[in-house]
Structures are given as structure tokens and as C-alpha cells.
Amino acid sequence: MLQMLLATLVTLGVLITFHEFGHFWVARRCGVEVLRFSIGFGKPLFRWTDKHGTEFVVAAIPLGGYVKMLDEREGDIPAEKLDKSFNRKPVLQRIAVVAAGPIANFLLAIVLYAAVFGIGSTTVKPMIGEVVPESIASKAGLTPDQVITEVDGKQVLNWTQVQLALVRRIGESGEIQMVTESSNGWPTNHTLKIDRWQEGVRDPDPFTSLGIKPFQLPIPPVLNEVVKGSAADASGLQTGDTLLAINDTEVADWREVVELVQANPGKTLSLEVLREGQSLNLDLTPGSKSNDSGKQIGYMGASVQTVSWPEEYLIELEYGFFESLQLGVIKTWDMSVLTLESIWKMITGLISVENISGPLTIAKVAGDSVSYGLVPFLSFLAYVSVSLGVLNLLPIPVLDGGHLVYYLIEFARGKPLSQSIQELGLKVGVLMIGTLMIFAVFNDISRWFIGS
């Protein structure tokens, strides 16, 4: 919980700071007087004032931020300061100030993705483990042990890239073009036919729906550590034990153990264990806890000895500075387009609105990404930065995109929209964003606590 909280604070703090700094930096260079730069809302926790008179604030509620600028619409301004008022600036300068926030998020994403590519990583090839008979994948000629190399004309190097390429096709009809490589190195083209694929499905699973099961390295059920005071400890299990059977069902892989334990919370299981060449019989009563969907599952409190992937299954990804930067730009663009496509598909009903996530989901994913290491956390941070930039550019009054629409109309017609129209738009925008937030939080609660 502490890790999740800290990861969330870092995520929100970094993204909000960069977004608001974009507005602040451009406003200063356009000669606008900035009164306050706030990270968070509510009661100030820290505050200080710089030599220009700008008050910097870190507030108690870290769910946003704002840059307050001198503006005649918010009160009387002395005559000598009118030239520093935001509303007195040329419309192109106002457009620049408003657009600077989302642009800062895109630039941050480029830098973060470039860092991920620059750090480099070892990734597992997207090798197919199983193909479900009569499935879409089976009919397209996909078979076990093939490695997926392209999806819809784009190179893919791991399962994450395959998944992202497939997610872009959710809700669509037509054909998914896929290229695989067999053990002899020969490429094969496949055409996967889809019809309103995964339309309206909550938490869609591209691989399962196509009938593809990724190859997984067998994990012998040899215990690496037994947590003191856990169900495994109470049963007499020890480090180095090999699980042979559960309730007379032979287990050869750790995943089978996990599946059986999770399916039996609070129920006593009979174990056959190999210890130092001797077979033992033990009784295990798994504890009970809620999973992400709110369902009660069993757990034993033991870890398994790790297994290293053989070299032939791995790809080393290493890039130089300029190549990493180029890839960072491409990745940011691709994720921006994917976000826009997903929003449009939700509007048109191709993707279920139940997939909209709120702050609770962001907090959980932030905590999980930190536990996986630096590169996953930087990737998560970059993705959320892209999402924040795209969402803020939507043409909804109260968001940056809504203000940009007003200023672009003013630029085109030579005069601003009437104050009454702008105020009406503001009310509509607040209602839309408020409704969206309530819906997102409800989805979070439903997903993580109710389990529906």
C-alpha cells in the first residue's frame, strides 16, 4: 500500500508539474504576469514566492494543478499592469500559452520513452505456445512454436508490442495481417478474419479471443521461500521442497499449483512433497484474500525458484542516443493515435465504456509498475503523460482543448465569442468532466471492490 501511494504521488506530481510548467513557461515569455503556480488543490502544504512575485504552492489534494495568471475577467487590474494581463495578449499568444501544457506532456513522454529505449532491455520473443482448435488463429494457419514478427505490417519484438497492435483492432471487422517465423527461419503470412471483434467487451483479451496462448517456460514447483506464519509455513512446507501432487492430482508446473491453491481458499488440501529424496504427505489450508475483481482466492505464502529463459528465446534491445530519441517520438505518436482511436471507439460503442479507468486504477498500476522495475515504471509514466496530453486537447470547455477552440474561433472571425456563450460552454464542460469522473470512479469501485 505504501509503495502504491508513493508511486501514485510521484506519477501525479511529475505529470502535473510538467503540464503546468508548460503553461507557466510560455506565459512568462509572452509577458503575462503569473500570480500562482499550484501543484494540487485545497490547503497549501508548502508555499514560497519568487523574485517576480509568483507564488508557488504544493497543496494537499494531488489530483491536478493550475497556473493563475493576471486576467481582467477575474478582477480589477491597475492600469500600469494591463499589458501583463492574459486577456489583453494577442490571440496567437493565448493559443500558445494554452497549448503549452499538453505539449509539455508530449515532450515528457518522448524523453521518457527515449530513456526506456536508451536503457535497453532483454525481452522474450512472442512465441506461440498453443493454438485453440477451430479458433480464429487456427483457421489462419497459426501453429505452436511459431514466433510472431509482424502485425498489420508493423514489426513486433515481444508480446507487449503484439498486444498493442491487436488492441488497435478491437471492435473492428475485416482482416488482421500477421507474419510468423518458424524454427527454420522461414516467414509465413496469415490472415485472421474478424467480425466486430471484441465489440463492447469489458476488459477485452485479444490473445484468448483469437485462440492464441503465448509460450510459457515450464516452472518446476520447487519452493524458493516459505513466508513465516503463512499457510505454507503452518503446513510444514520448507524451502527446497518439490510439490509432486495436490489432492492426488499430479502437478509438474508451478502454475498448476497456483491454480489449485487459488481455487480452494480455506479448504484443506492434501500435498505430496519430495524433500531430500523422501516423499512426504502434508496438509495445506490456503488463506483467503480478494483478487483485483473482488473474488476470494486462496494463497499459501510461498515463492518458487526462478527459471532463466534460454538465450534462443530472448532478444537484446539496445539503441544509441539519436535512435532512442527517434523511437521515443514514434512511440509517443503511436500511443497518442491509439488513445484517440480508443476514445472514438468508446463514443461509437465499439469499445465498452466500462473500460474507462479512474484514479484507483492509476494508483494500482503505478504501484505494480514500480515493483517490476525502473523501465516498466518509466513506460507507465510516459503512457499516462500521453493520455493526459491527448485528453486535455479534447474540444471540451474547461479543458485546454476547449479554450483552444474558443481562441481559434476568435482568430478566424476576428473577435471573441460572447461571454454568455463561453460561460454556457464552461458549465457544459464542467458537467461533462464531472460525469466522466464519477463514471470512472464507479468503474474502479466496481472492478476492484464489487467484482462485477
pLDDT per residue, tens digit, the chain (452 aa), is 777 788 888 888 899 999 999 999 999 999 999 999 999 888 889 999 999 999 999 998 887 899 999 998 888 888 888 999 999 999 999 999 999 999 999 999 999 999 999 998 889 999 999 999 999 999 999 999 999 999 999 999 999 999 999 999 999 999 999 999 988 888 999 999 999 999 888 788 999 999 999 999 999 999 999 999 999 999 999 999 999 999 999 999 999 999 999 999 999 999 999 999 999 999 999 998 877 666 789 999 999 998 888 888 999 988 999 999 999 999 999 999 999 998 898 888 888 777 777 777 777 788 888 888 888 899 999 999 999 999 999 999 889 999 999 999 999 988 888 888 888 888 888 888 888 888 778 877 776 655 44
Read off the pTM. Answer: 0.83
Cβ count near 176 (within 10 Å): 22
Together in a domain, 212 and 190: yes
Q: How far is CA 5 from the centre of its chain?
A: 16
In whole angstroms, give the CA distance from residue 18 to residue 12. 10
Question: Which of 20, 33, 199, 272 does the annotation list as catalytic?
Answer: 20
- In a domain, residue 20? The reply is no
411 domain-assigned: yes
Q: What is the pLDDT of residue 452?
A: 43
The domain spanning residue 203 has which CATH number? 2.30.42.10
Same structural domain for residues 227 and 254? yes
Q: CB–CB of 361/444 below 8 Å? A: yes
Same-domain pairing of 258 and 194: no
Of 289, 317, 345, the one marking the end of a domain is 317
Asked whether residue 372 falls in the same domain as residue 257, the answer is no
**CB environment 59-74: b (16+ within 10 A), e (fewer):** beebeebbbebbbeee
Same domain, 183 and 313: yes
Start-to-end CA distance of the chain, whole Å, equals 23
Residues 363 and 418 in one domain: yes
Q: What is the pLDDT of residue 293?
A: 62
How much is the pLDDT for 84? 93
* The total number of structural domains that make up the chain: 3
Q: Is 395 exposed, middle or buried (0-12, 13-18, 19+ CB in 10 A)?
A: middle
- 20 in catalytic set: yes
Specify whether the CB–CB gap between 424 and 415 falls below 8 A.
no
Q: Which grid cell sits at 143?
A: 501453429
Q: According to the model, what pLDDT value does residue 6 have?
A: 84
Domain that holds residue 125: 121-217+309-317
